[in-house]
Structure formats: C-alpha cells, structure tokens
Amino acid sequence: MTKPTEEILLNDRKEIDARTIACHVREIIKIIGEDPNREGLRKTPERFEKALKYLTSGYHLNLDHVLNGATFSVSYDEMVIVKDIEFFSLCEHHLLPFFGKAHVAYLPDKRVLGLSKIARVVNMFARRLQIQERLTSQIAKSIEEKITPQGVGVIIEARHLCMQMRGVEKQHGQAVTSAMLGAFRHNKQTRDEFLALVRRKSS
C-alpha cells in the first residue's frame, strides 16, 4: 500500500531537516579545530540532531494533546500538590542544560487534573529553549487556563550549567523561581501552606 502524498512529503522534510542540522554540526566541529571524520566524532552530528529534537520536542505538543481530556468534575476544594517533579531543559541563551525540580499546586474549583498530567505539562514546557522564569509562569498559567482553579502555585528549583561550567563557575548555585496566581497570591495562609508542604521532607 502506497503512503499518502502528504506523509511522504512530511518524511522527506524531516530527512532534509536532519541532514541540515547534522551538516551544520559537522562544520562547527571543524571550526573548533576538531576532525569530524575521526572515529569518535564520525556519527556525532547525527547523534546531536536526534538529541536536540528530543530535547525540544515540546514545540510539537499543545495542552489539549498533553492533557488528553484528563480533567474531571469533583467536589474537592483542598490543595492538590505534586512536588519534586524532575525536569531537564535547555537555556535559550547558551543552549546548555538546566535541570532541577518543579513543585506544582492548585486549589480546585469544581474540576481537577489527572495527577500524571501535571508532570506532563512540566515536561512539555521544559522541552523547549527556555529561561527558568518563563517556564515557571507557563506551567502556572496553563493550569489556570484549563481548569480555572481558585489558585495555582509553582516553584522551580534548578541548577544551570551555563553558570556552573562557564561565566562565574559557581558549582553550588541554585536558582529558585515562583509563580503564584489567584488564592496563592492573595491569601497568605494558602501560600504559606504550599511553602510548608514543599519544604517538608518525605519520610
């Protein structure tokens, strides 16, 4: 059975893009003074292309696809929190990794999210060229948009290799960002409860 014309064109486009990325990487290897034809580097351009496409795969996802209808009507108005969500992202300024943990909480108002979907939302935005501040805000706003809770709180703790490997070269520096919407911004008790739950060590 022959493939539809659109599918063939899409596959051709992907192959062209892959070759283009690999060709540019091969040139970069030359520019820094290495031999792209030596054994250890011969397939590096293609490996880099595959890794880059995976690490930026969030551009090809949207919230509806990620949530896949996993929002549910429920009579529950206490805080929902998913903490220690590990993530990896790429700093848009240097294309170096930053990584850490995201803590996400919300106060439901008639609807809740499937718990695993919160981690998937974090991954969707993390797998793009990012800055930590934007990543934090995007996660919070997307949850607010989809289930209209009473409030959303997001805290991200991350280490940035652009700071540890170059520049100031501070190995133990950690960036902490937060986004507080609705009740998490306006109600100190709600915000304090969230912070206490994030700080609490798992037994």
189 catalytic, yes or no? no
92 catalytic, yes or no? yes
162 catalytic, yes or no? yes
In this structure, are residues 95 and 129 in contact, taking their beta carbons and an 8 Å threshold?
yes
Q: How far apart are CA 28 and CA 198, in angstroms?
A: 43
Give the contacts of 132 (CB within 8 A, at least 6 positions apart).
89, 98, 156, 158, 160, 175, 177
DSSP letter assigned to residue 126: H
Residue 99 burial (10 A CB sphere; 0-12, 13-18, 19+): middle
91, 130, 138, 164: which one is catalytic? 91
91 catalytic, yes or no? yes
138, 160, 164, 193: which one is catalytic? 160
7, 27, 92, 145: which one is catalytic? 92
150 catalytic, yes or no? no
132, 138, 150, 164: which one is catalytic? 132
94 catalytic, yes or no? yes
Q: Which two tokens stand for residue 19?
A: 């070759």
Residue 100 burial (10 A CB sphere; 0-12, 13-18, 19+): buried
93, 133, 145, 186: which one is catalytic? 93
Catalytic positions, written as ranges: 91-94, 132, 160, 162
